[in-house]
Structure formats: C-alpha cells, structure tokens
Copies of this chain bind each other. A is one copy, B any other.
Amino acid sequence: MPRRAGLHPILQKYEQLKGQFKQNALSGDVTNVLQELYSEANSYLSHLDTEALTSDRLTKEYFAFKSNDGRKLSRAVNRNLYSTDPTIVLDFFDRIRNNDIEAQNVEEITKACYTIAIAFCSSIDMLKDNDPKTPGTFFEYFMGHLFAVQFGITPRNRVDVLNLDMRASLPTDFIFDLGDNRPKFHIPIKTSTRERVVQVWAHQRVLDGVYGTGRFLGLLSCLSETKLDHRTKVVTEICLPDQWRIYQLFISQLKRIYYLDMPVKYEELNEFFPRIHVKPFGEFFFEADELSL
C-alpha cells in the first residue's frame, strides 16, 4: 500500500489495518498490523503528559492524556486497566499468533485488550478533532479479529432472508457461522452504547424471528461507558440498567455482554433475576466453546 504523504504513522497503519481486515479478518497480517499500530500509539502517547481525573466510582481511577500545550485532553483512561509496561500486550500478540490466548488469564487478556484499544482511541482523540468514527471502526476490526481467531473463521456482515415471497439481504453486525449443528454468533461491537443500544436487541429479535430463536447467540462487546466532562474533569459511567432489563425481557435475549472496562451498574445485572450476563471480555476465551451448551 502506498504511504500517503503527510499522514501521521498511526493513521497510515490504520489505513493498512482496514485494507487487510477486509481482505481476510483472520489473517496473521491483521495481527501484525495491530501490533505495529499499538507500538506507534504507545510511543506517541509516551511523549504526552497525563492529567488525573475525578471518577464517580469509588473503585475506579481515571486519567487522560494531555497535549503539550495543555489545551487538549484524550478520553478517560482506566489506570488499573491500562498497562504502561508493554510486556503484557506483546505477550498477548504472541498468544494470538500461537492461537493460545487462554495461556494468559482473564485479567491479563482484558488488560492487554483494553491497553491496545484505549491507546489507539486516545491517540486519535489527540490527532483529530471530534472523530468518533475512526476509533469505532478500529475497535470493530480489533475485536472482530480476536473473535475470528478464536472461532477460526471469518465473519460476515449480511444475512439472506428467504421467507415465502420475500428475498432480501439484511445488513448486520458481525455474524460468525460455525456451520451445521453448531451455533451462529451475532456480535455487535461498540466503543460505548448509550441510548442507541436498543438496536442491538432489535437486530437480535430480527434474527430470532427470521431463523428461529436460539439459532443466533448474541454477544454484545463493548469498550467502556465513561463520559469525561472536559470542564470539571469528572468521569461518569453512563448506564441504563433498567432499560437493559426491559429490552432483555421484551425484545430479545442477548447471551453475553462483554466489556473491557466493566461498568459498575451493568456488573450488578448479573445479580438480578432474570440475569443479564455481563462479563469482562477476557472470559470469552474460556467459555467460547460452552456458550451453546
């Protein structure tokens, strides 16, 4: 791919990632470019100052990267999940290549993934003005690659609808089809959900309606739900647990919701009956084979 003159190395690598993911989401080339992208972002961020933020959750501590002129802040970064030592991340990339991600434990996997994702997203916050699309697409491709590696297949993002006189093709989030007599996974990937999350339950309902309930297992996968007030420097977690319960009761049932930075209010949904299973993303790799049992 020709290098675009003037494009920051992080954005150049990002363009490369997009091309390679579209070609083959499962390929080792995607792993390699993700690692290079992480190294670029990590080195870029290491030259920036940071500023401590105030969190509305007692158990969580956040900071933001700050431009050298002090005028620009990145999104909120969870201090306990962001690894300044790259070892755990480089180890994770090696595990992807060896197809034994489970050699790290849930906390290590979640931390490595959080660090990779937030390093890229924070870099974009600093390099571009008000661009939610680039971090969103990156996160989709990064997580999509991990699901592809674990399932050993590439995803689709359309399904055919053949129903009596109707023949249509429906755009969806990632669909991983493990083949006959095995589950199909419907995997929406979002940096954060907010009020638009009802879409996810609605698309699950369409899949249930068109193909029959239980044929597609929904695994919503998210980065975090933090919101940083740039004036007060306060980080809040925007959560709507009552609405999630209503969607899960009345629209459709998601099998799992995974987070890299698990919101406190959604973690509590594991305790209410009927439960919604919200888990740290690292757990996926240990339960992937049992989700259809």
Q: Which residues of A contact B (CB under 8 A)?
A: 161, 163, 166, 168-171, 195-196, 198-199, 201-203, 205-206, 208-210, 242-243, 245-247, 249-251
Contact = CB atoms under 8 A, between A and B. Distances in A.
A139 to B, nearest CB: 18
Sorted nearest first, the 10 A-B pairs with minimum C-beta distance are A209-B250, A168-B242, A202-B202, A198-B202, A206-B250, A198-B199, A205-B251, A202-B251, A206-B246, A161-B246
Nearest to A169: B242
How many copies of this chain does one complex carry?
Answer: 2
Given A168-B245, A209-B251, A199 B201 contact: no
Contacts of A202: 198-199, 201-202, 205, 247, 251
Nearest to A206: B250
A198 B188 CA distance: 15
Give the interface SS of chain A, mostly helix, strand, loop or mixed: helix
B210 A243 contact: no
10 contacts: A161-B242, A166-B242, A168-B242, A170-B242, A171-B195, A198-B202, A202-B202, A205-B205, A209-B250, A251-B251
Contact of A206 (B169, B196, B208, B247): B247
Contacts of A206: 246-247, 250-251
A190 to B, nearest CB: 14
Nearest to A247: B206
Nearest to A250: B209
Contacts of A168: 242-243, 245-246
A67 to B, nearest CB: 24
Nearest to A208: B250
A205 B201 CA distance: 11
A171 B247 CA distance: 13
